[in-house]
Amino acid sequence: MKQKAYFPFTAIVGQEKMKRALILNLINPALGGVLIKGEKGTAKSTAVRALTQVLPERREVKGCPFSCDPDDVSCQCDECRRKKDPETVLCRMRVVDLPVSATEDRVVGTLDIEKALTTGEKHFEPGILAEANRNILYIDEINLLDDHVVDVILDSAAMGVNNVEREGVSFSHPAKFVLVGTMNPEEGDLRPQLLDRFGLVADVRGESDIGLRTEVVKRYLAYESDPEAFLAEWQPEQEKLRHRISEAHELMGKVSYSDDILRLAAEISVSLGVDGHRADIAMIKAAVTNAAYEGRSSVEKADMKLAAELVLPHRMRRKPFEEQRLDISSVFEMIESRETR
């Protein structure tokens, strides 16, 4: 069956903050994923699924259920570590869907206890986390997912490993993935503890500009009328973005930042009453990644502004039943007023 032609990522009108948050996570999976919050019909799912066409290629061990990296022994499964010269294939990253109805066993995988006890051999049936390793794990309506399952996923995302233990028998495998969740806040919110585990959060709304709304309809109807022709038209932009993402990934390790930038991140967090240190770290990581995407070798104020917009809103301290709001203009003023070197 022919693969479905998804709407091109570069053809999505507006929603720049959401698109940038997704791109930054592709460049730097260590950012901790992104949660996209917004009303229905704001291209949340469309943007995530469209990523498949701009995801970079990578080498992986042929036949490995965990898509292990042949060049990184520290992140390989036990089977791949035992291979001296594994055969490799070139594949593109992909988006792995996790349904809201998924059970814990379906997510983490299952162990055949009877076989382990009778033969002494561990037989593991891989779950969704195995498939998600080195890929994007996408959870639509993540706020409706069972809290326990969300906890398991976030723990694996933080450690980069999925540990399965049943009746004293355990099995571990690499589970490093980019976590992307989408949700409509009208249908309920995530617990603050879970919100804080997402590196970035992007709030999206329908476009209010008449010109942009008109362009949304125009492009969608053109795509619906002839998907192949529409994809061909946007292919040069898709290739350009894919190349830019690859270049940014290479440049990221060369991006520098000053002590003044570090201090600025700390001052912003303190002034907003942000708990813990995750916000400070995430701001610096996001700023470095954005600088690489813009082709710069050092972090500038513009990078800190974008990082603040994506990192801070969901981490602000609030009282019960109090709406969470961030006066981003005050943060921008703080950034602009600082002398950074």
d(CA 68, CA 179): 18
Phi/psi at 55 (nearest 5 deg)?
-70, 140
Tokens read off for 24: 């930054």
Strands 178-183 and 136-140: parallel
**Whether 8 contacts 237, CB under 8 Å:** yes
> What are the CA-CA distances from residue 75 to residues 72, 157, 164, 318 (Å)?
6, 13, 17, 38
278 is catalytic: yes
Instruction: Evaluate the CA torsion angle 55, 57, 59, 65 in order and state its sign.
Output: positive
Q: Are 56 and 93 in contact (CB under 8 A)?
A: yes
147 secondary structure, DSSP code: H
Query: Could you count the other beta carbons within 10 Å of the beta carbon of residue 165?
Result: 11
Which one of 213, 244, 278, 338 is the catalytic residue?
278
Return the structure tokens found at 262.
Answer: 């570090």
Residues carrying an active site annotation: 278
